[in-house]
Amino acid sequence: MITSSLLLVLGLVILILGANYMVDGASALAKRFNISNLAIGLTIVAFGTSAPELVVNSFAAADGYADIVFGNVIGSNNFNLFIILGITGIITPLAVQSSTAWKEIPISLIAVIILFMMLNDQIIAPGQTSILSSFDGFLLLVCFLAFLFYVYKQLKNDEVTEDETIKKLTPIKTGIFIIGGLAGLVLGGQLVVNNAIEIAENMGISQKIIGLTVVAAGTSLPELATSVVAATKKNADIAVGNIIGSNIFNIFLILSTASLIRPIEFNLNFNQDLYILAGGTLFLLLAMFTGKRKRLDRWEALILLAFYLSYTTYLVMQEL
């Protein structure tokens, strides 16, 4: 038990370091091609900080741990939305571009709705088994490619400004950071999945709760670090773009990858967490048009943070 806990922590540390190196390398590469900060936040940084979820879920799907797969993605998205935006919004009010308020946030809400419909087949055809099939995964992958095309078309003409939070690296160092970061993600992902499962079994805690809390929070730490640094540097485009982009990536790319590895049976108990994710995303959308427009104010960020801390406490208490 102690050994598993230490290995879990080690895996999370390796995941975070791997993600950080990958983000630094990928962001430096993007800057070389004059990609805007918002585009970097929505794509390069979002992918880099979502890489731990991708690796963890790939291993979990291959091993048949369905609750870890869904718990990690849904839990990570809720952690991103409520905890990370809550913390960063309290540090500094997050003013965003019009496209974020009118397009990217609605896209993240649409992603949740699409996922809900795919996972609840019994709503359309009573008696059907709730499963994310390989065909569903293919459709999610198509949605992901469509999102990337949207970002390319929408943001290719954005103004490019220098961002001191992004390191300038030589081409060789950029390659080392990206490759080394990927290696850390693979190793860390294996340690996290294997030891999280062992701890859950030893403590009698469900894989669902482990996925929604320990694994989700651990794999979301890169998003937390990235967004907090961006907030302290007054770069709301990176802070918000990272979170919205990560949530879209998690649904469209990570779940599609997992289901293409192996179809994943869906535990209907996760619907409650999907409702919360949809409600939180809708709250964020409405927050863009209350108070100061196109801005997440401190009091709105505090509501996000307080709600999810209360909800997580409730989930854990239900298991005890």
pLDDT at 148: 85
| Crossing angle for the helix pair 271-287 and 298-319, to the nearest 10 degrees | 170
Q: Which residues are paired to 131 by β-bridges?
A: 265
Residue 98: left (phi > 0), alpha (psi -120 to 50), or beta?
Answer: alpha
Angle between the N-to-C axes of helices 134-155 and 236-249, in degrees from 0 to 180, rounded to the nearest 10:
160
Q: Which two tokens stand for residue 6?
A: 């230490």
Closest CA to 70 of 258, 204, 261: 258
CA separation, residue 238 to residues 14, 75, 153, 163, 248 (Å): 23, 21, 19, 10, 15
Q: Which residue segments constitute the domains of the chain, with CATH numbers given?
A: 2-319 (1.20.1420.30)
Q: Tell me the pLDDT of the chain (320 aa) as tens digits.
A: 788 889 988 988 887 787 677 767 767 776 777 666 566 666 676 677 677 778 888 888 888 888 889 988 998 899 999 998 999 999 888 877 777 778 888 999 999 999 999 998 777 666 677 899 999 999 999 999 998 888 877 666 555 555 555 567 788 888 888 788 777 877 877 787 678 778 877 877 777 887 787 778 777 777 777 777 777 767 777 677 778 888 998 999 999 999 999 999 998 889 999 999 999 999 998 888 876 677 888 899 999 999 999 988 888 787 66
Asked if 71 contacts 215 with a C-beta cutoff of 8 angstroms, the reply is yes
Structure confidence at residue 136 (pLDDT)? 94
> Which conformational region is residue 169 in: left (phi greater than 0), alpha (psi within -120 to 50 degrees), or beta?
beta
* pLDDT 10s digits, 265-306: 998 889 999 999 999 999 998 888 876 677 888 899 999 999
pTM: predicted TM-score of the whole model, two decimal places: 0.79
Q: Is 34 left (phi over 0), alpha (psi -120 to 50) or beta?
A: left
Instruction: Of 79, 57, 69, give the one whose Cα is nearest residue 190.
Output: 57
Question: What pLDDT does residue 38 have?
Answer: 63
